[in-house]
């Protein structure tokens, strides 16, 4: 059996998100521990110099090699994390260092597979590696990615997307889901399952699962829209129309639609359905309540309407969702 491990190079740079860097190696390290049948991975951290890199969390990390040294190696997987800045209005903006972009472009040419985690997709896009491809990133910077790179088909919903030998992952903890998917692709589902069990994770959250969560949407800058959001939450089980919301906000229906589009980037009806799906997801994950009851409590009215909303929003059915993500009290 070959003793050569698959080389994974993770790029480092100032301000990089800490979990993006440390999460995937935890997954890859468990492959070697959980089986004697594979050689596993060798994970190295590469940066512009050998100086310590300060992450977004303030924790400093030492590189294993420079980008120049990494470019001399045959790389199995290039993994590119990201970095963001938050302005005074709490808006998140992905940062892209042109020097890092140049090195990623060079290293990608030496790699069998290229991946990004979270807002690292912005770096891949700047390097031209996502042109003509479908890609995801953290939901908070998806609009920026689409605006900056019109040749990229941005889909902010899935937790990860594979396009040939290019993989992109969504935000924060989704780096673990992406890493498990890479393990499954390399060594099979059985080994990935053993790793997932050690991590106390679901194997593996399907790539199509939504990263969307209504409560995680950006906080609005206006009191009026925040009041409307709370009104929707309080009355989620009732019939809610644009007319109802406009009357509550004391504005015209046209103005209400404009407010939702400006503040939340969607329409009132789509937001209401999203809020209802989110509540239904929580019910399916944590209770044994019937679909009829969930449809009533969440304001869908009928089970058929609930099913259609799930297919539209999550590309699955409520029953399939419950089977995948139902919490278990068993040890």
CA distance 168 to 133: 10
Q: Report residue 153 CA to chain centroid gap.
A: 15
**Of 96, 82, 14, nearest in space to 48 by CA:** 14
CA dihedral 158, 163, 167, 171 (to 10 degrees): -20
Q: Which segments of the chain are extended strands (E)?
A: 6-11, 41-47, 53-54, 60-61, 65-66, 75-80, 84-86, 92-94, 111-116, 134-135, 153-154, 160-163, 166-169
Of 53, 70, 118, 264, the active-site residue reads 118
What secondary structure letter does DSSP report for 205? P
118 included as an active-site residue: yes
Catalytic residues: 118
């Amino acid at each position: 059996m070959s003793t050569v491990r698959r080389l994974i190079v993770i790029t480092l740079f100032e301000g990089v998100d800490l979990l993006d860097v440390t999460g995937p190696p935890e997954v890859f390290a468990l492959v070697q521990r959980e089986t004697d049948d594979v050689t596993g991975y060798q994970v190295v951290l590469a940066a512009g110099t050998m100086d310590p890199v300060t992450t977004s969390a303030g924790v400093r990390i030492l590189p294993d090699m420079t980008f120049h040294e990494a470019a001399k190696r045959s790389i199995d997987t290039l993994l590119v994390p990201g970095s963001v800045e938050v302005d005074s209005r709490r808006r998140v903006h992905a940062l892209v260092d042109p020097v890092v972009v140049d090195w990623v472009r060079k290293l990608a040419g030496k790699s069998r597979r290229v991946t990004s985690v979270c807002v690292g997709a912005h770096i891949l896009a700047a390097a031209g590696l996502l042109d003509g491809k479908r890609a995801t990133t953290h939901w908070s910077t998806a609009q920026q990615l689409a605006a900056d790179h019109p040749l990229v088909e941005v889909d902010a919903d899935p937790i990860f997307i594979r396009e040939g030998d290019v993989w992109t992952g969504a935000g924060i903890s989704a780096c673990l889901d992406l890493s498990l998917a890479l393990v499954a692709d390399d060594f099979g589902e059985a080994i990935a399952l053993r790793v997932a069990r050690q991590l106390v994770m679901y194997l593996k959250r399907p790539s199509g699962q939504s990263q969307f969560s209504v409560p995680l949407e950006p906080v609005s800058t206006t009191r009026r829209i925040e009041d409307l959001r709370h009104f929707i939450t309080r009355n989620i089980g009732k019939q809610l129309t644009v007319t109802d919301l406009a009357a509550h906000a004391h504005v015209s229906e046209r103005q209400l639609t404009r407010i939702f589009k400006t503040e939340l980037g969607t329409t009132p009806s789509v937001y209401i359905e999203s809020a209802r799906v989110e509540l239904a997801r929580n019910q399916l994950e944590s209770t044994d309540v019937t679909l009829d009851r969930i449809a009533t409590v969440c304001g869908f009215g009928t089970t058929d309407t609930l099913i259609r909303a799930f297919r539209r929003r999550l590309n699955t059915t409520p029953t399939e969702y419950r089977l995948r993500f139902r919490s278990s009290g068993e040890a």
